[in-house]
Homo-oligomer: A and B are copies of this chain.
């Protein structure tokens, strides 16, 4: 993929998704600009590529910083998100900052006639009503961060109607991999397995997720940039394997070559869903290759944990 003519602004470039994306964009030849206030992102995530990036140190909620960051930008990928996935505390400031930041970006995108890639989440679907969950599934978020992501989707869609915004919405499934800012289940299992600690599986262990390796998300973003037909569309971004908690624990044990016991804690409350996400539309439209297998993604993540054991300290 050749992005030599592109200048791409990555919000939250110091974060998990953002930093992987920056590396891939540079490899594809793009000029990459990052805007990040490093509230949850880390400069260290950009080690090795920092000297090839332009960095705007600040928040997207700062209108002046956003204007400054937009000079000559062809596309924006909005990965910055200030809210924990299962945030329950209701803080006006966090939500408002997010929507103000999004709005600042959308305005500049429109006036620069750029492309906006909105990183949404499968949290917009809420409890799944059928399997697998495709992009037409009803939207009924049950967690605050899903409602906020969905509010952002509607701002994008409406400004496409009213102001000619060019936007693509990517609904990310459970993404995991090296530099996961918030410890996801695959990473937690790997850490425990490498430390010889028990892998605790809550409930029946049959709850499952479409875990998606971070590089598949990155490839989807790159695909969007080179696919004009993607403009105006909404895509799930998900791997093609669904794995139960129990099977994930066994696989992690094997990949970490660990003797850790798998402990079923049946009385613990759990999110018991078998979340099967259909990512085929993105794969077809964006001409993506075969997703990274769970086995392979876990192995890469294991190697990273072994190389960077202090990341979560």
Q: Which residues of A contact B (CB under 8 A)?
A: 63, 88, 90, 92, 95-96, 99-100, 103-104, 106-107, 110, 126, 139-144, 146-148, 150-151, 154-155, 157-159, 161-163
Contacts and interface: CB of A to CB of B under 8 A. Distances in A.
A303 B268 CA distance: 67
Interface of chain A: mostly helix, strand, loop or mixed: helix
10 contacts: A63-B92, A88-B162, A90-B163, A95-B103, A99-B151, A140-B157, A142-B158, A144-B159, A148-B155, A150-B151
A96 to B, nearest CB: 5
B126 A141 contact: no
Nearest to A96: B100
Contact of A151 (B144, B151, B163): B151
Given A99-B96, A99-B99, A104-B92, A142 B154 contact: no
Contacts of A99: 95-96, 99, 151
Contacts of A103: 90, 92, 95-96
Contacts of A88: 162-163
A157 B147 contact: yes
Contacts of A151: 99, 150-151, 154-155
A92 B157 CA distance: 17
A141 B163 contact: no
Contact of A100 (B92, B141, B143, B150): B92
Closest A-B pairs by Cβ, 5 of them = A151-B151, A147-B158, A142-B161, A96-B100, A92-B103
A6 to B, nearest CB: 25
A161 B86 CA distance: 13
A95 B152 CA distance: 12
B150 A154 contact: yes
Contact of A162 (B106, B107, B142): B142
A143 to B, nearest CB: 6
B158 A143 contact: yes
B90 A110 contact: yes
Nearest to A63: B92
A263 to B, nearest CB: 29
A106 B126 contact: no
B95 A107 contact: no
Nearest to A107: B90
A97 to B, nearest CB: 9
Nearest to A147: B158
A223 to B, nearest CB: 25
Contacts of A161: 126, 140-143
A155 B154 CA distance: 13
Given A92-B103, A99-B99, A104-B92, A162 B150 contact: no
B158 A154 contact: no
A95 B163 CA distance: 16
A161 B141 CA distance: 8
